[in-house]
Amino acid sequence: MRKLLGVLFLSLAVSHSVLADTNIPWTKEGCESVKGTWITAHSPSDPGCDANHCNGLNFCRGPKGINWWSALIWCKSIGHRLADIETMCPNGLSSGMSCANLNGITTYVWSSTPSTAEKSYEYGHQNQNLIRGTDRWDVRTNTEHPALCTE
């Protein structure tokens, strides 16, 4: 029993240190220091954009191949948060679920915004510039998307 408790304590201590916040500076260099990719969204003056749909914000895209929960934790572990759909795609939900802000900049990414109790939104543009809900089962098992963190 003592060995079991010792192993449990050791595993909790190790996992806590692995998930400790690093609080990276919100810069390209800070993002790249955690193996992320710095992304700047379109600005309102870019072609196909306006002040209602493009914000020019910076994001740190995390590693590809993680599920939604891991994306949420990855952003928190670097001292930031998983971006919500409104930050990623201003007015995207009210304008036919499109996203001029990130169009052509990044492929599918996880967002923190739930679409329903069973789904979470993701943004993607492989064949079209769209926002879609992903089944909750996929949120746990789909490991094709990276995190998109914001300040």
Give the domain ranges of the chain.
Answer: 22-150
Give yes or no for residue 125 having a pLDDT over 70: no
pLDDT at 74: 96
Q: Which fold has domain 22-150?
A: Mannose-Binding Protein A; Chain A (3.10.100)
Q: What is the mean pLDDT of residues 7-32?
A: 65
- Distances from the Cα of 81 to the Cα of 7, 74, 111, 126, 147, angstroms: 32, 9, 10, 24, 9
pLDDT band of 81, cuts 50, 70, 90: very high
Whole-prediction pTM value? 0.75
Nearest to 62 by CA among 19, 33, 21, 20: 33
- Average pLDDT taken over every residue of the chain: 77
Helix (H) or strand (E) holding 85: helix 85-88
